[in-house]
Amino acid sequence: MLDTSSTRSDRHGHASTVAGGSAVASPVYTIGSDAAERDRLRSQSDELHEHTEALLEHVGIQRGWRVAEVACGPRGVLERLAQRVGPTGTVTGLDINPTHVTQAREHVTSLGLGNVSVIEADARQTALPASSFDLVYARFILINIPDPQAVVAEMVRLVRPGGWVACEEADGGAMLCHPPHPAYTRLNTTFRTLYLHDGADIHTGRRLPELLDAAGLLDIGVEARADVPPPGHPRRTVMLDILRAMRSKIIEQRLLHGAELDRLDRDAREHLGDPHTLVMPHLSFMAWGRKPDQPPTA
């Protein structure tokens, strides 16, 4: 776990860990976290409700389970998990961003969810006891970090033998805008460049089964959905909204000047506002797997 007493996050969501008197920068979450991005994350829970419910059905979540949500952000699906496990179950939300932790706690308190707690922890190394949960769940975190396998390995460590790991992930390799528009195309290229620069992989969604398999899980299942949101739906402009959150990074890396970025954003949004424009912002993958009942023998 990153020692929060010696860790600082910059405005891009990067952490610098002080070790032996020197600071080492480590990219944690490529999008970063400003007020607009936190609002987007909060609304995302409602937008992806059907996907989350389908994934929980695949896993067979039951009342009384102990569940953890990794990288829950300012809301995540904490209330949905709490409803599923009931008053005899518990839900633990984890996030590395202290602002997200505070806001998630406020959200939980406002709903009166007494069986939910939220703690600050690094998803790659939480320092929580092994085999603590019946289900460990994550959504849209692996695509935004440079080493998704490390997070999956920690999720597997946290789940009990026979328990489940479940992930929802986007796959940006299938973005579709028809008819094409030069502004959207240019911003799509910028989006891909930013992820590549941070070592994140926009194709993570399709890699979910192999990530779970490499972590030693069994009974792996996968489902993919291709959503085509109608005009006015917030998922329609999700790539543009993410790029707004990464504005300072775009300018610092000299990928686009501020005025050009504003023009492209305006033109792309106008095109996506046309009801004749078809948009598939990404493929959505859901994958799940069960931890072996007993560790493999040598």
pTM of the predicted model as reported, rounded to 2 decimal places: 0.85
Q: Is 297 part of a structural domain of the chain? A: no
Does residue 59 lie in a domain region? yes
| Residue 167, domain member (yes or no) | yes
Share of residues in the chain with pLDDT > 90 (%): 73
CATH of the domain at 27: 3.40.50.150
- Give the burial class of 243: count Cβ atoms within 10 A of its Cβ; 0-12 exposed, 13-18 middle, 19 or more buried: buried
> How many beta carbons lie within 10 A of that of residue 104, not counting itself?
26
Q: pLDDT digit string (tens) for 15-25?
A: 333 223 333 34
Which residue range forms the structural domain that includes residue 197?
4-290
Residue 296 in any domain: the answer is: no
The answer on pLDDT for 204 being more than 50 is yes
Please report whether residue 227 resides in a domain: yes
Q: What's the confidence (pLDDT) of residue 245? A: 87
Burial, 14: exposed, middle or buried (Cβ in 10 Å; 0-12, 13-18, 19+)? middle
Banded model confidence at residue 36, pLDDT cuts 50, 70, 90: low
Q: Name the pLDDT band for 296 (thresholds 50, 70, 90).
A: low
Query: Which residues on neighbouring strands pair with residue 16, listed in sequence order?
Result: 8, 25
295 within domain boundaries: no
123 located within any domain: yes
Average pLDDT over residues 118-145: 95
Average pLDDT (186-194) is 95
Check whether 278 has a pLDDT greater than 50: yes
Domains: count for the chain: 1
| Predicted local confidence at residue 1, as pLDDT | 27
pLDDT at 49: 79
262 within domain boundaries: yes
Q: Output the pLDDT for position 174.
A: 84
pLDDT value, residue 223: 96
